[in-house]
Chain A
Amino acid sequence: MRDKNGKVVYRRRYKSRSFVEGFLSALQSAFTGSSSISSPNLVVGSGTTPPKITDTGLTNQIGNGTSSGQLQYGVDSFTSPIINTNTNTGSFTWSKTFNNGSGGNVTVSEVGAYFGSTFVLHDLLPSSITLLPNQVLTVVYTITIST
Chain B
Amino acid sequence: MNVKAYLKIKVIKDGKCIYYRRYRSRSFVANFINALFTNLSGQSVTLVTTSGSTSSQSASQSGNFSLLVSDGSNNDSYGIQIGAGTTAPTITDYSLSQLISNGTSVGQMQYGAVTVMSPIINTTNNTGYFTVTRAFTNNSGGSITVSEVGLVMEVFLSYFLIIHDLLPTPITVPNGSTLSIAYEIQIAT
B69 smallest CB distance to A (angstroms): 5
Question: CB-CB contacts of B47-77 with A at 8 A, as 1s and 0s?
Answer: 0000000000001111111111110000000
Q: Is the CB of A25 within 8 A of B40?
A: no
Given A19-B189, A36-B66, the answer on whether A53 and B121 have CB atoms closer than 8 Å is: yes
Q: Is the CB of B67 within 8 A of A53?
A: no
Q: How long is the Cα–Cα vector from A18 to B2 in the complex, in angstroms?
A: 7
Task: List A residues 9-29 near B (Cβ within 8 Å).
Answer: 16-21, 23-25, 27-29
Q: How long is the Cα–Cα vector from A31 to B36 in the complex, in angstroms?
A: 12
Instruction: Please count the residue pairs between chain A and chain B whose beta carbons lie under 8 angstroms apart in the complex.
Output: 161
Q: Is the CB of B59 within 8 A of A17?
A: no
A54 smallest CB distance to B (angstroms): 6
A5 within 8 A of B: no
Q: Which of B21-29, B99-107, B171-179 contacts A (4 or more CB under 8 A)?
A: B21-29
Question: CB-CB contacts of A57-74 with B at 8 A, as 1s and 0s?
Answer: 000000000000000000
Q: How long is the Cα–Cα vector from A81 to B60 in the complex, in angstroms?
A: 17
The interface centre, meaning the residue of A19, A31, A85 with most chain B CB atoms within 10 A of its CB, is: A31
Q: How long is the Cα–Cα vector from A27 to B61 in the complex, in angstroms?
A: 16
Q: Which residue of B lies closest to A92 (CB)?
A: B37
Q: How long is the Cα–Cα vector from A73 to B90 in the complex, in angstroms?
A: 39
Number of A residues with CB within 8 Å of any CB on chain B = 49
Question: CB-CB contacts of A79-108 with B at 8 A, as 1s and 0s?
Answer: 011011100111110100000000000000
Q: Which residue of A lies closest to B79 (CB)?
A: A31
Task: List B residues 158-189 near A (Cβ within 8 Å).
Answer: 164, 185, 187-189
B105 smallest CB distance to A (angstroms): 30
Q: How long is the Cα–Cα vector from A85 to B30 in the complex, in angstroms?
A: 10
Cβ-neighbour of A90 out of B2, B39, B91, B116 (below 8 A): B91
Q: Is the CB of B37 within 8 A of A28?
A: no
In the complex, what residues of A have CB within 8 A of residue B36's CB?
Answer: 37, 92, 143
B132 within 8 A of A: yes
B6 within 8 A of A: no
The interface centre, meaning the residue of A17, A34, A90, A116 with most chain B CB atoms within 10 A of its CB, is: A90
Q: Is the CB of A147 within 8 A of B121?
A: no
Q: Is the CB of B187 within 8 A of A19?
A: yes
A35 smallest CB distance to B (angstroms): 7
What 3 A-B pairs come out closest when comparing CB atoms? A38-B63, A33-B68, A78-B41
Contacts A31-B68, A33-B66, A90-B30 aside, 5 further interface pairs with beta carbons under 8 A come to: A21-B121, A36-B64, A81-B33, A94-B40, A145-B32
